[in-house]
Amino acid sequence: MSSINKRAQQIMAEIISNKKVGAYHHITLSVGEIAQLIRPGNFVAIAVGGADSRMVLRRAFAIYKASMDPLDGGIVELVVAPHGSGSTWLCNAPLHSKIDMILPLGKAFGIPVEPVNALLVGGGYGSAPLFGLAEALKAKQCNVDMVLGASTASKIYAPQEGKRSTNSMIFTTDDGSLGIEGMVSSVIPELIEKNKIEIIYSCGPMAMLEAVTKISVEFGLQHQCAVEESMACGIGVCMTCVLPVRGEDGVARMLRTCIDGPVMEGSDILWNTGRTVPSEVWGA
């Protein structure tokens, strides 16, 4: 039986930096020693709107980076798109305000024991957890290629320092304002062949993850994707985030992506089921 990340704690974290970068806000929070327990792929669940807020549901955000800073102690960095009322409140939160957050949540990306050729694919703010992952893979002497896509240039989050963690970086935009015009999926097959890719990691919109899964299946590659199914509690209680996923026994079950994910093997997911429970799912 799956359960919440055993390392998770609810804390009040102070915002120590909040900068607008393109279409996003890069927010740094002081979180203390718990930063050491965070792995690439983990996420946070944040209470938004302040103490009297009517926004009762926490909002989930991937952890872009976690580190121990010599001056600030344990810090967590987030990349937030001002989307609706909750994320906009967070983007507007003033310096030194205290944020109620639960972290670290969810399953992290698996890091190979031996060096491999890895391809990291991100869509929009989905690039956020991939830079910490790239650093972890580099520490294992992996070759790391990255493809980042978005609708337009301002929605690609690719910090300069992040580029140092990769061997190559390709951008795609729907409108051609940066890099290659088109979707990330259009450049992946050639990269797989050229760079002898052995594993794919991805994070971004569900349609992109489905497209990457199709390619990974075609090439017979493992594909660890961090899904971003809508979440309401983030801690395994509400069942908002369920997806049909096939287990090792071949049986499909509705799994809670906040505790069984967000990182999952792409080919295990029954994609594009339109938020219904497919008839082949156990108990349907």
**Interface with ligand FAD (CB under 6 A):** 43, 57, 59-62, 79-81, 83-88, 125, 128, 228, 230-232, 240, 262
Looking at 72, 85, 236, 277, which residue binds ligand FES (CB under 6 A)?
A: 236
Q: Which is nearer to ligand FES, 215 or 227 (CB)?
A: 227
Q: What is the DSSP letter of 142?
A: -
CB of 43 to ligand FES, least distance (A): 11
Q: What is the DSSP letter of 196?
A: T
Looking at 233, 243, 245, 281, which residue binds ligand FES (CB under 6 A)?
A: 233
CB of 240 to ligand FES, least distance (A): 5
Backbone angles phi, psi at 207, to 5 degrees: -65, -35
Ramachandran category for residue 28: left, alpha or beta (phi over 0 → left; psi -120 to 50 → alpha): beta
Query: DSSP E strands: which ranges in 111-227?
Result: 117-123, 143-150, 168-173, 180-181, 199-203, 222-226
Assess 62 for contact with ligand FES (CB under 6 A).
no
Assess 232 for contact with ligand FES (CB under 6 A).
yes
Token pair 């992109």 in the structure block, residue: 208
Residues of this chain, 245-274, that bind ligand FES according to CB under 6 A:
256, 258
Assess 237 for contact with ligand FES (CB under 6 A).
yes
First to last CA, the chain: 19
Alpha-carbon span 245 to 10, nearest angstrom: 29
* Sheet of 24-30, strands arranged across: 59-62, 43-46, 98-105, 9-21, 24-30, 73-80, 65-69
Assess 241 for contact with ligand FES (CB under 6 A).
yes
CB of 230 to ligand FAD, least distance (A): 3
Token pair 């609706």 in the structure block, residue: 84
CB of 241 to ligand FES, least distance (A): 3
CB of 107 to ligand FES, least distance (A): 12
Residues that bind ligand FES (CB under 6 A): 231-234, 236-241, 256, 258
